[in-house]
Amino acid sequence: MAPRNQDTKQEILRIGMDLIKRYGYNAFSYADISKVLEMKNAAVHYHFRGKEDLLAGILDQYLDDYVQLGKQLQVSRLTSLQKLDKFIERYSVLVDSNCICIIGSVASDYNTLPESVKARVTELIDLVLGMVEKTLQEGKKKGEFHFTESARTQALLIMTNLAAGVQLARISGKQDYVQIRKALLRQVKG
């Protein structure tokens, strides 16, 4: 049975995020969400005035999610490699669920996004890129990593490999993603 009451807003966010990762921002409607919840369109509008607000909510939650992950990693005793792997693991999950990453999804639709959310997309990319860069920097200092590019550039390379890697995997299969994953780890390990 579909959840009710206060959970509904969270459920809408969850379903919306899944739809974006699966089909993209321009390919889902309020009806898609309300059908899953066995509710009416207007119920979704009650929680989020418009699709614009819904997207903003989804991005905000995703931002929070990554801030959370960042804090977790900071207090953990994981090696830099393990931290990087926790990040990469998120992409592997996407491949197995036939999805692409939110960043890649909204980036592809960027020119069609409402102006009010574009800033959030930039913020999200800065956050994720910063996290990877920091982990790389730290790992290099500790002697775990041995890449020659700047940490920022190496983070860019990893991000693009993964983002496009999951996009490719939906078409040509998981094997290509696996190869990319292995190769980028070899790159940073040196």
Q: Which residues bind a copy of itself (CB under 8 A)?
A: 22-24, 26-27, 98, 100, 104-105, 107-112, 118, 121-122, 125-126, 148-149, 152-154, 156-157, 159-165, 167-168, 170-172, 176, 179-180, 183-184, 186-187
End-to-end CA distance of the chain: 51
Are the C-beta atoms of residues 145 and 80 closer than 8 Å to each other?
yes
- For 62, other C-beta atoms within 10 Å of its C-beta total 21
Residue 46 or 110: the one with the smaller Cβ distance to DNA is: 46
Exposed/middle/buried for 152, CB within 10 Å: 0-12, 13-18, 19+? middle
* Total Cβ atoms within 10 A of residue 21: 19
The least CB distance from residue 50 to DNA, in Å, is 3
- The C-alpha atoms of residue 142 and residue 86 are separated, in whole angstroms, by 18
* Closer CB to DNA, 28 or 177, in the complex: 28
The binder of 176, among a copy of itself, DNA, none, by C-beta within 5 to 8 A per type, is a copy of itself
Asked if 131 and 162 touch (Cβ cutoff 8 Å), the reply is: no
- In angstroms, give the least distance from the CB of 165 to a copy of itself: 5
Between 51-75 and 7-22, two packed helices, what is the crossing angle to 10 degrees?
A: 90
Residue ranges in contact with DNA by CB under 7 A = 4-6, 8, 28-32, 34, 38-43, 45-47, 49-52
Cβ 150 to a copy of itself shortest distance, Å = 8
**Which of DNA, a copy of itself, none does 29 bind, CB closer than 5 to 8 A by kind?**
DNA
**Contact yes or no for 70/26 (Cβ under 8 A):** no
Q: How far apart are CB 132 and a copy of itself at their closest, in Å? A: 13
127 binds, among a copy of itself, DNA, none (CB under 5 to 8 A by kind): none
Yes or no: say if 94 and 101 are a contact pair by the CB < 8 Å rule. yes
Nearer to DNA by Cβ, of 31 and 183: the residue is 31
Which of a copy of itself, DNA, none does 146 bind, CB closer than 5 to 8 A by kind? none
